[in-house]
Amino acid sequence: MSLSSLDKYFSLSGKAALVTGSSSGIGRALAIGLAGAGATVMVHGRSEEQLAETQREIAAVGGASQAITAELNEQASYSRLVQETRERLNRLDILVNCAGMNRRKPIEEVTEADFDLVMNVNLRSVYFLSQAVHPIMRDQRGGKIIHVASLTTFMGLGNTSVYGITKSALAQLAKTQAVEWARDNIQVNCLAPGFIVTPLTEKSLWQDAKKSGWMLSRIPARRPGKPDEMVAAVLYMAGPGSSYLTGQTIAVDGGVLAGGSWDD
């Protein structure tokens, strides 16, 4: 297959993308990957310093980006984030909802404040950011929306009840959006990362011998994933080659959901 034929399926030249939660971890990797494929990327987060590092890494691969800060626990941020992105980039073709957070607690210890915060960041923002980009993509005759889900989209994990609710809801939201917006040539899909080493999980999970051992025992690949291993799936979902893929959730998990072996 020639490079020109690959461009037919994967090139994002001339496209504009907004990636929420792209100041570090998976979001940063996705922003760099989209920029490397030709998109101009609006990177989003709360830390200007971290966003500047994301932009430096995008520039290192020859990509173009701008940065914006916004607090996704505040409803007023949603329309501002979308409109400012469109104004600064002149269009908006791709929305990647990667921002997320967790409060690890047993169900009986979860407070209403915990519940509202995780719901607002992980689900409410995704719902209303998608709603805000819809008319823009409709008027442009198409677009791509990608939600970053989780293994908890498919399975229950202790002490992550509210997080799991939000991530499982994203898969259903993608299906409904796919059905309603297919007429506007907007494809909506989810990426479900497996057990990935990120700045947030390295200390809280991977440096804990008991937790890391539990995770590794369930990964057929016998190793954790890396943020940049999530990029190829998102490039497919964001590119022209996925014009007939919509309403799906793709797990990139080293085989966790495939199962395990008694012999391991």
State pLDDT tens for residues 49-98: 999 999 999 999 999 999 999 999 888 889 999 999 999 999 999 999 99
* Inter-residue contact 170 to 123 (CB < 8 Å): yes
In a domain, 234, yes or no: yes
Assigned domain for 95 exists:
yes
Q: pLDDT tens digits, residue range 26-42?
A: 999 999 999 999 999 99
Residue 176 placed within a domain? yes
pLDDT of the residue at 2: 58
Reported as a pLDDT band with limits 50, 70 and 90, residue 207 is confident
User: Is residue 217, in this structure, part of any structural domain at all?
Assistant: no
In-domain check, residue 207? no
242 in Cβ contact with 236 (< 8 Å) = yes
**From CA 45, how far away is CA 47, in angstroms rounded?**
6
- Domain membership of residue 83 (yes or no) is yes
237: domain CATH number is: 3.40.50.720
User: With a threshold of 0.75, does the pTM exceed it?
Assistant: yes
d(CA 240, CA 112): 42
Is residue 213 assigned to a domain?
A: no
Q: How many domains does the chain have?
A: 1
Q: Is the pLDDT of residue 4 over 70?
A: no
Quote the domain boundaries for residue 83: 3-198+227-251
Is 163 assigned a catalytic role?
Answer: yes
Structural domain includes residue 256: no
* pLDDT 10s digits, 120-158: 999 999 999 999 999 999 999 999 999 999 999 999 999
Q: Which one of the listed residues 9, 163, 236, 244 is annotated catalytic? A: 163
